[in-house]
């Protein structure tokens, strides 16, 4: 949910402030099907502190003549590394994140050897590997398969070595680190208790606004190692089309109205509603709008401005840490009649953006629809989940002052409000195989007489793709979170409401492609999927089928994730996988793969699906673009219809600037929630990207040359009312 890019366009080009040293602007990956073996696969832990980078030129001199420090001379450095033990107990898939640490491109990058102590390199391709040029401040992902023994959590040092060309000179590089793969299932993950103090906007102290500073992104690309090649279910044979016409449609679009304008890149649209004609909240980057008429009209709130008529209240919420950042999420709790609103605040960085000097917090606010409609500014009570413990505020999330949190998510069960967030260990890096989860007592939140909210927290580990993963929504009496451990294995984490620890289990799935295969080019030449998150869980839904269902009672957990181009496998464009898992009983914490459903088309790409259930059907909000669609759009529809309905009309690809580099980013996530009521409607938040008017005499342009505007839209969709003759 990296929504912290800044749009810094001016007449004639882009302002590019220097914010830091490393960015995941582009990805390159070697992606070839691995050896097919069945059984259990478990991810190893990344070792960011154990990695080292050794620089050496052919003649040992500084070829560029700038007499830089040794680390600055090193163009290629090692980021995170993840490993996943295969089913046979003797094979490991490894993915290395190698980054160009300088702002200029290096050419002819070649990996000449990959060695692992106790291991034997098996591929997926023969060495040496020619990777070609790597642009400045970009990442590349390198896959490896090893025969290895033992695979029991023992550390195994590795070395990845090769050469590149800089300023016409050949430079050697050698990247060292350690992996610790394990065939044992990770966990259990014992929870720790904490307290956060309630605060009210009616009596809060509002310090002077914190100066707006450039934002940092935890730009670690998701790392999904290669797994055994397998096909568990027959591939979905029917393509899903896109319709711009609602004539005779099986879907009714009740609303498609503008809810705000976002200045951030990307907008991260999200929405929740209390009723089809009631209060609606929509969020987008650092903006929020509310409606009291079901989304027919919206009122925009500037969170950085004083309350109208009350200049002493300098901002909507009291400023904290580095100031309000981004990544807002809203949801509505029907049983409690409460909206919940999550806001992420910035960590504090040094002037160069290279060091975290103070951690950040997540702010969790709540209010009833009635109070929101009566007085939006004073309706809210809130608590903070700080990184480290802060006396009188929060027991913290277990972080140090030099770590921070990014890319949050929200869900609720019968008893708890669940918060998930990435664990960032550097200004631009998160642990790819970790996710912090906290659960807050809904009873404490709802009881105004209690001054604090109790919570439990734990940190999930042991699945390569845990970072940026989204909860299953609507799961009763439990939290469920999934992550791809490798390209053909899904790990599921379950935190039952009545349990003191989360547990994990693994499920074999059909293989997907990752990395460089995850791409789709818009008409302006921009790859709108370039900086997205292939393999992470973009959304999830729970559905309980009753006993009268023809197939009998069944609990279903539906996970959505993106998959890359696999032309040889009948997927010539990036697509979406919907994986349905079923536990043997409702209380079980193990799961079996029940069905796979691909949303695909030969002529354009799908991405970022967010499924939700109304108890009967699965409604989906997702992105579609490239190919015959052109610019990325949003569409809504229902699983099994094999058609979705376009609800936006973008004519450009949104771009932004981070750490001095122009980047393309779509998403990062979309909103889709069930609206309470007799009619089973879904409320989806989407956005248009509209090119600014062209200057006189300029025949064409892009967001990078003339600028553009992101307009956020609120969409209500559902099945039409049957017409009875």
pLDDT digits (tens, 9 = 90+) for 372-400: 999 999 999 999 999 999 999 999 999 99
- DSSP string spanning 496-528? ETT-SEEEEEEEE------GGG---B-TTS-BT
Final residue before a domain boundary, out of 184, 211, 238: 184
Q: The domain containing residue 126 runs over which residues?
A: 41-184
> What stretch of H or E contains 630?
strand 630-638
CA distance 278 to 698: 45
Q: For 265-274, 349-358, 446-455, which range has the lowest pLDDT when averaged over its residues?
A: 349-358
pLDDT over 60 (residue 23): no
Per-residue pLDDT for 24 more than 70?
A: no
Burial class (CB in 10 A: 0-12, 13-18, 19+), 308: exposed
The pLDDT of residue 583 is above 90: yes
Can you tell me the distance from the alpha carbon of 548 to that of 565, in angstroms, rounded to the nearest whole number? 40
pLDDT for position 446: 98
| In-domain check, residue 724 | no
Task: Answer yes or no: is pLDDT of 51 > 60.
Answer: no
Span 401-428, pLDDT tens digits: 999 999 999 999 999 999 999 999 988 8
User: 220 near 27, Cβ under 8 Å?
Assistant: no
CB 676 within 8 A of CB 275: yes
193 beta partners: 456
Query: Tokens at residue 136, please?
Result: 């400045």
pLDDT at 15 over 50: no
pLDDT for position 417: 99
Instruction: Supply the DSSP symbol for 459.
Output: E
Mean pLDDT, residues 15-36: 27
**CATH code of the domain in which 138 resides:** 2.60.40.10
Q: Which residue in this structure is represented by tokens 């981004």?
A: 326
Q: Do 137 and 212 sit in the same domain of this protein?
A: no
Listing from the earlier edge strand, what are the strands of the sheet with 592-599? 472-473, 537-545, 554-563, 575-582, 592-599
Nearest CA among 281, 342, 41 for reference residue 185: 41
pLDDT score, position 219: 62
pLDDT score of 14 more than 70: no
Q: pLDDT tens, 100-114?
A: 988 899 999 999 999
Same domain, 388 and 443: yes
Share of the chain above pLDDT 70, in %: 86
Q: Is 111 left (phi over 0), alpha (psi -120 to 50) or beta?
A: beta
Of 127, 160, 184, the domain-final residue: 184
Task: From 3, 9, 4, 7, select the one nearest 701 (Cα to Cα).
Answer: 9
The DSSP code for 209 is: P
Query: Residue 61: is its pLDDT beyond 60?
Result: no
Question: What CATH number is associated with residue 377?
Answer: 2.120.10.10
What is the model's pTM? 0.90
By three-state DSSP, how is residue 707 classified?
coil
Exposure of 378 by Cβ count < 10 A (0-12 exposed, 13-18 middle, 19+ buried)? middle
pLDDT of residue 9 exceeding 70 = no
8 Å CB contact between 482 and 461: no
Pairing of strands 478-486, 156-166: unpaired
Which value, in Å, is the radius of gyration of the alpha carbons in the chain?
Answer: 25
Cα separation, 206 vs 212, in Å, equals: 16
pLDDT band at 660 (very low <50, low <70, confident <90, very high): low
Q: What is the pLDDT of residue 73?
A: 58
Looking at residue 6, the DSSP 8-state letter turns out to be E
Has residue 469 been placed in a domain?
yes
Cβ atoms of 419 and 342 within 8 Å: the answer is yes
Residue where a domain terminates, one of 151, 184, 217: 184
Looking at the structure of the chain, the number of domains it has is 2
pLDDT of residue 316: 97
Residue 391 domain-assigned (yes or no): yes
Terminal-residue alpha carbon distance, the chain? 48
Strand partners, 405: 423
| Confidence band of 2 (pLDDT split at 50, 70, 90) | very low
Q: How confident is the model at residue 157 (pLDDT cuts 50, 70, 90)?
A: very high
The answer to which of 52-61, 185-194, 479-488, 683-692 has the lowest mean pLDDT is: 52-61
Quick check: is 1 in a domain? no
State the pLDDT at residue 57.
Answer: 32
- pLDDT value for 663: 78
pLDDT in tens, 499-552: 999 999 999 999 999 866 888 999 999 999 987 677 889 999 999 998 777 778
Kindly state whether residue 687 falls inside one of the protein's structural domains: yes
Residues 47 and 82 sit within 8 Å (Cβ to Cβ): no
Conformation bin of residue 462: beta by default, left when phi > 0, alpha when psi is -120 to 50: left
User: Looking at residue 432, what DSSP letter applies?
Assistant: T
pLDDT in tens, 78-89: 988 999 999 999
């Amino acid at each position: 949910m990296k929504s912290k890019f800044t749009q810094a366009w001016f007449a004639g080009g882009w302002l590019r402030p220097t914010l830091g040293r490393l960015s995941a602007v582009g990805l390159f990956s070697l992606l070839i099907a691995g050896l097919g073996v069945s059984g259990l696969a478990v991810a190893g832990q990344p070792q960011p502190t154990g990695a080292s980078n050794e620089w050496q030129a052919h003649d040992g001199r500084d070829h560029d003549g700038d007499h830089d420090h040794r680390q600055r001379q090193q163009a290629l450095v090692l980021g995170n590394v993840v490993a996943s033990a295969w089913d046979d107990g003797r094979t490991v898939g490894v993915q290395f994140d190698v980054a160009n640490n300088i702002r200029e491109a290096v050419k002819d990058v070649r990996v000449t050897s990959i060695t692992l102590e106790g291991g034997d390199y098996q591929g997926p391709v023969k060495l040496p590997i020619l990777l070609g040029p790597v642009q400045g401040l970009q990442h590349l992902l390198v896959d490896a398969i090893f025969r290895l023994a033992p695979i029991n959590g023992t550390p195994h040092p590795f070395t990845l070595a090769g050469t590149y060309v800089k300023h016409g000179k050949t430079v050697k590089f050698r990247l060292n680190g350690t992996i610790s793969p394990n065939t044992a299932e990770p966990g259990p993950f014992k929870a720790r208790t904490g307290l956060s103090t309630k605060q009210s906007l009616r009596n809060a102290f509002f310090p002077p606004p914190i100066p707006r500073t450039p934002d940092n992104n935890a730009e670690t690309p998701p790392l999904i190692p290669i797994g055994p090649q397998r096909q568990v279910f027959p591939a979905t044979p029917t393509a899903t089309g896109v319709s711009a016409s609602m004539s005779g449609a099986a879907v009714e679009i009740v609303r498609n109205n503008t809810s705000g304008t976002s200045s951030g890149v990307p907008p991260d649209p999200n929405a929740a509603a209390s009723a089809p004609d009631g209060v609606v909240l929509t969020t987008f980057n650092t903006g929020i709008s509310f409606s009291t008429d079901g989304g027919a009209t919206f009122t925009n709130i500037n969170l950085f401005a004083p309350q109208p008529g009350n200049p002493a209240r300098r901002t909507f919420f009291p400023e904290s840490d580095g100031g309000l950042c981004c990544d807002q999420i809203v949801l509505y709790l029907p049983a409690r009649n409460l909206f919940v609103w999550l806001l992420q605040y910035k960590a504090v960085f040094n002037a160069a953006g290279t060091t975290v000097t103070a951690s950040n917090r997540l702010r969790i606010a709540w209010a009833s629809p009635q109070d929101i409609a009566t007085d939006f500014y004073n309706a809210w009570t809130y608590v903070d989940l700080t990184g480290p413990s802060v006396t009188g505020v929060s027991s913290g999330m277990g972080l140090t002052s030099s770590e921070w949190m990014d890319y949050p998510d929200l869900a609720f069960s019968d008893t708890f409000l669940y918060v998930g967030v990435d664990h960032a260990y550097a200004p631009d890096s998160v642990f790819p195989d970790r996710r912090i989860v906290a659960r807050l007592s809904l009873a404490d939140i709802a009881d105004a007489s209690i001054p604090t909210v109790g919570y439990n927290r734990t940190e999930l580990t042991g699945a390569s793709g845990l970072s940026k993963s989204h909860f299953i929504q609507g799961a009763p009496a439990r939290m469920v979170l999934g992550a791809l451990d490798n390209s053909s294995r899904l790990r599921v984490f379950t935190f039952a409401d009545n349990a003191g620890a989360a547990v994990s289990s693994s499920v074999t799935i059909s293989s997907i492609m990752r990395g460089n295969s995850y791409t789709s080019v818009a008409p302006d030449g921009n790859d709108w999927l370039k900086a997205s998150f292939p393999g992470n869980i973009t959304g999830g839904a729970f559905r309980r089928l009753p006993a009268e269902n023809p197939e009998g009672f069944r609990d279903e957990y539906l996970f959505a994730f993106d998959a890359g181009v696999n032309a040889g496998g009948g997927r010539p464009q990036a697509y979406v996988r919907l994986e349905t898992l079923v536990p043997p009983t409702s209380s079980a914490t193990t799961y079996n793969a029940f069905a796979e459903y691909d949303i695909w088309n030969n002529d354009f790409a799908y991405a970022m699906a967010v499924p939700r259930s109304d108890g009967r059907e699965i409604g989906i909000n997702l992105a579609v673009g490239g190919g015959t669609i052109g610019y990325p759009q949003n569409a809504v529809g229902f699983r099994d219809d094999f058609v979705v309905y376009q609800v936006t009309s973008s004519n450009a690809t949104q771009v932004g600037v981070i750490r001095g580099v122009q980047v393309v980013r779509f998403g990062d996530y979309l909103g889709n929630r069930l609206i309470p009521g007799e009619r089973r409607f879904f409320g989806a938040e989407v956005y248009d990207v509209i090119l600014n008017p062209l200057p006189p005499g300029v025949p064409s342009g892009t967001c990078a040359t003339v600028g553009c505007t992101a307009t956020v839209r609120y969409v209500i969709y559902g099945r039409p009312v049957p017409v009875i003759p």
